Amino acid sequence: MMTSTPGTTQANLTQLEYLALNASLNVADGHARQDLTETQKRIIDDLPTLFAKAAGEPLEELERNAQRTFLTTFGQHRFPTGPDRVLSCYASSVAMEILARSLVGSVATVGLVHPTFDNIPDILRGVGLGLAPVEEDLLVGGDLDAGIPPEVQALFVTTPNNPTGRVLAEDRLRLLAQVCQRRNIVLCLDTSFRGFDYRAQYDQYAILEAVGCRYVVIEDTGKLWPTLDLKVGLLVSSDNVGLPVPDIYSDILLGVSPFILALVERFAEDAAAGGLDELHEHIAGNRRVLRETLAGVPGVSFPDPDSRVSVERVGIPRHTGSQLFDGLSRQNVFVLPCRQFHWADPERGEDAVRVALARPRATVAAAAAEMRSILLG
Amino acid sequence: MMTSTPGTTQANLTQLEYLALNASLNVADGHARQDLTETQKRIIDDLPTLFAKAAGEPLEELERNAQRTFLTTFGQHRFPTGPDRVLSCYASSVAMEILARSLVGSVATVGLVHPTFDNIPDILRGVGLGLAPVEEDLLVGGDLDAGIPPEVQALFVTTPNNPTGRVLAEDRLRLLAQVCQRRNIVLCLDTSFRGFDYRAQYDQYAILEAVGCRYVVIEDTGKLWPTLDLKVGLLVSSDNVGLPVPDIYSDILLGVSPFILALVERFAEDAAAGGLDELHEHIAGNRRVLRETLAGVPGVSFPDPDSRVSVERVGIPRHTGSQLFDGLSRQNVFVLPCRQFHWADPERGEDAVRVALARPRATVAAAAAEMRSILLG
């Protein structure tokens, strides 16, 4: 954990999230910090048994079961099963780092969805890749072939997107995959927020494999369940991807903890057995509390009315997002300004902040009340 | 986990370790796979309580306590405490990746101890850095100023080294730090195996801080305790290091799991209360079993008679290490050939294999018996 941070507009989003970690009202980071449900509590009560199971079972089997249970719970039935096709990483950002390093050498320019969480452009640039912004609107509804710049050799799309919650629909993913296939672009998807939105749980692998494009998908167990950041990021590649993903993976890790794999399997089973509906209701309830609390505040809007992910943008035309961020942080309430999500054009993010919803109801209610009071004041 | 691997001499060491993960006799990787001690079992029985503690305590306090308990248990009393000076990572290799990325831009050539585990040169080269080998003999006893090539801007030393167990003694570290200070070289230490050897547990930070050189140290909880790879790598930097370590850290992670931090604290407390002596006895016993089983086998030698780390090199002049590796793996016994440790001159590693000792006694005994039979056959 870090303790010093540059100024609000210079800092990256993760650095602003650090500030919130010890705050009384942290609605900044997108980690899952809601309370455990009753059935999840029973899994935690059983951790010693889970440890023994993880110690005793063959790792290969344990890992295969955890991956399959997680992926199929979210509709990904046709995920690839060949050697090195699904690599378990410590976190989705570690998967991202491995992907970025794997692109260097064969890819010069990555087309990247705009806006999106800033550690993605930072990692891609950090390893020396060039970036070309690709607007979310284009991906969701525009002319893909004309809109994706000609120099793009890999295209990175977060779906559902963070912070907007926009989902690439099935027909759009197919079109996108076809364009990538035709132009030999590596299609990279970050689906970390998929668990929150049934509309993103169609079988993406069935489409990608049918089209036959080169692809890499980053899956993440880390946004969903309050497991104190015991999580796994999955790095899934197509057979024809032509990138040294397994080599770079093996430079960085031998594998993740079998204990965490066993835990992921149990939480995914719980999700499939009703936990997912419960989670969706909890997030929807928190979203309602936030929207209702801020209703009627002059100038406040909700730019993503249809979003179901565990973060919500709040539009604040009268103020800049950075100013509201500062006012709230003086009250020990931490949100994220949206400026940094707009990595290619920060000014476009100045009129919104992002509020995390994967929190206890009371935390969201208190943060929303504080926002209302500052916005009205 | 990976399932496909290039040929024995082309593969990297981690890829060879994958092969062993599901083998009946895996003495390949350096992860801690011995049985839990009685007091460690009690910590595992208490995991639900530990989860509740980790969920309830302020993260900053939890992390500070875990870091302090771990570092001071191993004699590192004067570790730095300022902002961003000790960053908790998912693993020591993630710390390594962050360090490597932080060096790019201000450092062109890294002097790297030779031999050492091959993921270190692979990560450094992977981010585009040049390497200059620095022989272990030079570090331990040679003329440092003359021996470190003039182009070196950062020097990376593993101490105790892997696979040799050689330790940089206190006076040698001081000399090395002084040379680095004078020549403005960033001194980078990987001390992942320190816990196994009291001779490496003098206060290295006291020396580094007194000399005032630029330094980065990678600490690791992952080699010591059979926690199923629930572990933390620490990335410690000097105040004057002048590298963007905190920025790159924040691109990759917000922080590690508080549950793992709490677990590390408990295992470190157990180590301080007698567990460390018990661990040393266990490793020494396994080393004795290996040496005694192979005693009298013509041509077998132990090139590191004084080593106390949890891996042991076995010298085999009559065979090449790679041949023995192949013979053993046909019997489902996995060791590591030493070829790849000699990253600048692989042929020098052909006459040795590395055997992991952090295993149950019976595993080491059975692997040693199989080695004896193949070497005699």
Interchain CB distance below 8 Å, B54 and A84? no
Cα-to-chain-centroid distance, residue B216: 15
| A328-361 residue pLDDT tens | 888 889 999 999 999 999 999 989 999 999 999 9
Minimum-distance CB partner of A256 among B59, B227, B229: B229
Residue A7 in this model has a pLDDT that exceeds 80: no
Under the banding of pLDDT at 50, 70 and 90, the label for residue B325 is confident
Minimum-distance CB partner of A254 among B22, B29, B255: B29
Number of C-beta neighbours around residue A178 at 10 A = 16
Give the pairing type, strands B352-356 and A130-135: unpaired
| A216-235 residue pLDDT tens | 999 999 999 999 999 999 99
| B41-90 residue pLDDT tens | 999 999 999 999 999 999 999 999 999 999 999 999 999 999 999 999 99
| B207-259 residue pLDDT tens | 999 999 999 999 999 999 999 999 999 999 999 999 999 999 999 999 999 99
| B276-285 residue pLDDT tens | 999 999 999 9
| Residue A377, pLDDT score | 81
Across residues A290-306, what is the average pLDDT? 96
Under the banding of pLDDT at 50, 70 and 90, the label for residue A290 is very high
Interchain CB distance below 8 Å, A257 and B63? no
Interchain CB distance below 8 Å, A12 and B251? yes
Does residue B305 have a cis bond before it (omega within 30 degrees)?
no
Angle at A155 between CA A149 and CA A157, to 5 degrees: 120
ipTM associated with this complex: 0.96
Question: Percentage of chain A surpassing pLDDT 90?
Answer: 88
The amino acid at A8 = T
Residues of chain A contacting B30 with CB distance shorter than 8 Å: none
- In terms of Cα–Cα distance, which of B114, B158, B160 is closest to B137? B114
A220 part of contact set with chain B, CB < 8 Å = no
Alpha-helical (H) ranges within A184-309 are 204-211, 245-252, 258-270, 276-294
Nearest CA in chain B to A31: B254
For chain A, the first-to-last Cα distance in angstroms comes to: 34
The chain-wide mean pLDDT, for chain A, equals 95
| A76-120 residue pLDDT tens | 999 999 999 999 999 999 999 999 999 999 999 999 999 999 999
- In terms of Cα–Cα distance, which of A265, A268, A217, A203 is closest to A87? A217
Residue indicated by tokens 């939480």 = A267
Interchain CB distance below 8 Å, A12 and B250? yes
Query: Long-range pairs for A318-327 at CB < 8 Å and ≥24 separation?
Result: A318/A375, A319/A351, A319/A375, A320/A350, A320/A351, A321/A349, A321/A350, A321/A351, A321/A352, A321/A353, A322/A8, A322/A9, A322/A350, A324/A353, A324/A371, A324/A374, A324/A375, A325/A8, A325/A16, A325/A353, A326/A8, A327/A374
| Residue A4, pLDDT score | 52
| Residue A291, pLDDT score | 98
More confident residue, B10 or A228: A228
Strands (DSSP E) along chain B, which ranges? 25-26, 86-89, 109-114, 130-135, 154-158, 186-190, 215-220, 233-237, 311-315, 333-334, 336-337, 352-356
Residues of chain A contacting B97 with CB distance shorter than 8 Å: 97, 251-252
Number of C-beta neighbours around residue B299 at 10 A = 11
Residue B322 in this model has a pLDDT that exceeds 80: no
Residue B326 in this model has a pLDDT that exceeds 90: no
| Residue B321, pLDDT score | 73
Minimum-distance CB partner of B22 among A1, A47, A60: A60
Q: What is the DSSP letter of B34?
A: S
Give the relative orientation of helices A47-56 and A38-45 as an angle to the nearest 10 degrees: 60
Minimum-distance CB partner of B47 among A48, A55, A93: A48
Residue B197 in this model has a pLDDT that exceeds 70: yes
What kind and span of H or E run contains A353? strand A352-356
What kind and span of H or E run contains A187? strand A186-190
| Residue A150, pLDDT score | 98
Q: What is the DSSP string of B229-274?
A: T---EEEEE-TT--S-HHHHHHHH-S---HHHHHHHHHHHHHIIII
Tokens of A94: 């570690």
Alpha-carbon distance of B204 to B284, in angstroms, equals 25
Residue B3 in this model has a pLDDT that exceeds 70: no
| Residue B4, pLDDT score | 52
Listed by number, the residues of chain B in 9-38 with a beta carbon closer than 8 Å to a beta carbon of chain A are: 12, 14-15, 17-18, 21-22, 29, 31
What kind and span of H or E run contains A190? strand A186-190
B169 part of contact set with chain A, CB < 8 Å = no
Q: What is the DSSP letter of B143?
A: -
The amino acid at B51 = F
Alpha-helical (H) ranges within A23-127 are 38-45, 47-56, 59-73, 92-103, 119-126
Residues of chain A contacting B125 with CB distance shorter than 8 Å: none
